[in-house]
Amino acid sequence: MKILHSLRSMTLAALVLLTLVIAPVMQTAQAAVQYTTTHRSAAMTDLVTAIGSTGALMILTGTQPASVATVDSGTVLAVLPLSATAGTVSNGVLTFNAITSAAAVATGTAAHFLICTTNNTANCVAVSSTTRVIQGSVGTSGADLNFSAGVAFTSGVTINVSSLTLTATGA
């Protein structure tokens, strides 16, 4: 009761000042989950193992699925074979080895990509896909996979990926 009576007698300015002083103290900071470099590297190495020796990078139109377990309804624009060993890992960063260029198989605007254990398109985009390992966004900047020449693909035109790296979260 004494606190309530005291608050009633304060001016609005005093209440605002009290709020500005007390509110930051009452808020708790939430730290992000972090993992050791060893664990981040292990996660990326597991991806290389899961991709296997016959992996492929598929570039598609349409909205990226909600998860790698969701059917992909985009049109496959290009299928680029990965190296027999997809990439190397250092300090939680997966750097893909050479990605073989390939001609676009359809015309459209690239919006996302899939990395699968096979170049079998039907298996990779299916809802029950056990071959899809990674998916991400495609753009000209700020995306997971950026194309400097643009994202408008034309059937028959060669598609090149000069480099691709993925960084494990939790640093």
Edge-first strand order for the sheet with 56-60 is 76-81, 56-60, 112-116, 132-139, 145-146
Bridge partners of 80, per DSSP, are 57
pLDDT 10s digits, 79-135 = 999 999 999 999 999 999 999 999 999 999 999 999 999 999 888 888 777 899 999
Helix or strand holding residue 13 (H, E): helix 12-26
Greatest Cα-to-Cα distance within the chain, rounded to the nearest angstrom: 80
Q: What is the pLDDT of residues 87-98, one digit of tens each?
A: 999 999 999 999
Which tens digits make up the pLDDT trace of 35-63? 999 999 999 999 999 999 999 999 999 99
> SS3 for 90?
strand
CA 141: distance to chain centroid? 14
Give backbone dihedrals phi and psi of 33, rounded to 5 degrees, phi first: -65, 135
Residues above pLDDT 70, as percent of the chain? 83
Domain boundaries, the chain: 37-167
